[in-house]
Amino acid sequence: MPFPEQRPRRLRVNENIRRMVRENSLSVNDLVYPVFVCHGSGLATPVDSMPGVYRYSIDILLKNLEEIVKLRIPAILTFGLPAKKDAAGSGAYAADGVIQQAVRAIKKEYPELMVITDLCLCEYTDHGHCGVIQDNYVVNDPSLELLAKTAVSHAAAGADMIAPSDMMDGRVGAIRSALDKNGYVNTPVMAYSAKYCSAFYGPFRDAADSAPKFGDRRSYQMDPANADEAIREVRLDLEEGADIVMVKPALAYMDVIRRVKDEFGCPVAAYNVSGEYSMVKAAAQNGWIDEKRVVMEILTGIKRAGADVVITYHAREAARWLRDGM
Ligand code: PBG
């Protein structure tokens, strides 16, 4: 029975009826707030390409997390800026590394806040790649050892979840067995499973000072043209023990989020990355878009695509808007 019996607009006539039939909604429970931590004290250095984002020293980070906890954002995702870098990225797994110190301090002050640690070497290596370099190539298996060691040091510092973002083959399995061997059987792994080699990471690399010094990441991150490959990557990570799988970036990869959700029905995270954030901020600063509405539309769209967890630099402001009922 088509028109005139069928009139889809009937279910749109007022806000109450729209609320009744709404299929998806964003909640504060869905959000993860990424933070950048550096050594020192009293520091909040703005990231020029990411308005509203700062690199915090641990003391200032702790002050900022008070609002995050009050807003009931369940989790943060930490990125570290080491004091110095070397070829083996030793700052990543140093017992007194910036992340290890930060996690201990955060868990002491806010035991209920979930701390997810991004696990990668690119912020810690002097060459800026996510693994060990031999003959200008990122070698896979030697990198696994360092990643597993880093995971254990994060868990030892009190990390609630480990999020490997390096895209080496076999890293989830290596990390899982290292965690288990060291008694961290209940520490989940959220794997950056379908992580694309994306130009949308540009602002992040300013923030984390992690741009590769030579070449690019195409020999380990995925080709943006591929989606079947994402399914294979996710399957491998699940087989290796990933608890949550991630698609990254989010906006140009909504189809991949949906396919992963449909294919595996497992918890899926999507990373609304730095370039996606900065584009919105730049347009908003120019008065070209309604920032609040655009942000909420983007985050709800990512959920509708199939994400259970949305990692976003907008988390704090989105949580405020949700609290205030927009
Ligand atoms: C580290 C890492 C990156 C991001 C998260 N973890 C950068 C990269 O792979 O170059 C990007 C996050 C963002 O753009 O917001 N490997």
| Residue ID of nearest Cα to ligand 1 atom 6 | 165
Each residue's pLDDT tens digit, 25-62: 999 999 999 999 999 999 999 999 999 999 999 999 99
Distance of CA 13 to the CA centre of its chain: 38
Task: Give a yes or no: residue 274 inside a domain.
Answer: no
Strands 75-81 and 137-139, how do they pair?
unpaired
| Residue ID of nearest Cα to ligand 1 atom 14 | 201
Task: Give a yes or no: residue 14 inside a domain.
Answer: no
Task: Give a yes or no: residue 219 inside a domain.
Answer: yes
Q: How far is CA 10 from CA 1, 4, 18, 325, in A?
A: 15, 12, 10, 25
Task: Give a yes or no: residue 289 inside a domain.
Answer: no
Task: Give a yes or no: residue 68 inside a domain.
Answer: yes
pLDDT at position 114, please? 98
pLDDT at position 326, please? 67
Residue 142 exposure: Cα atoms within 13 Å on the Cβ side: 10
| Residue ID of nearest Cα to ligand 1 atom 8 | 201
Q: How far is the CA of 198 from the centre of ligand 1 (A)?
A: 9
User: Which residue has tokens 């120019």?
Assistant: 286
- Residue 119 in contact with ligand 1 by CB distance below 6 A: no
- The boundaries of the domain holding residue 181 are 25-242
- Residue 204 in contact with ligand 1 by CB distance below 6 A: yes
Task: Give a yes or no: residue 187 inside a domain.
Answer: yes
Task: Give a yes or no: residue 269 inside a domain.
Answer: no
- In total, how many domains does the chain have? 1
Active site residues: 195, 248
Weakly modelled stretches of the chain, pLDDT under 50: none
pLDDT at position 1, please? 83
Task: Give a yes or no: residue 135 inside a domain.
Answer: yes
Residue 275 alpha carbon, nearest atom of ligand 1: 14
- Residue 165 in contact with ligand 1 by CB distance below 6 A: yes
- Helix 228-239 × helix 254-264 angle, to 10°: 50
Q: Give the integer Cα–Cα distance in Å for 141 and 238.
A: 19
Specify the CATH number for the domain of residue 90. 3.20.20.70
Q: How far is the CA of 165 from the centre of ligand 1 (A)?
A: 7
Q: Which residues are registered as beta bridge partners of 118?
A: 163
115, 62 Cβ separation under 8 angstroms: no
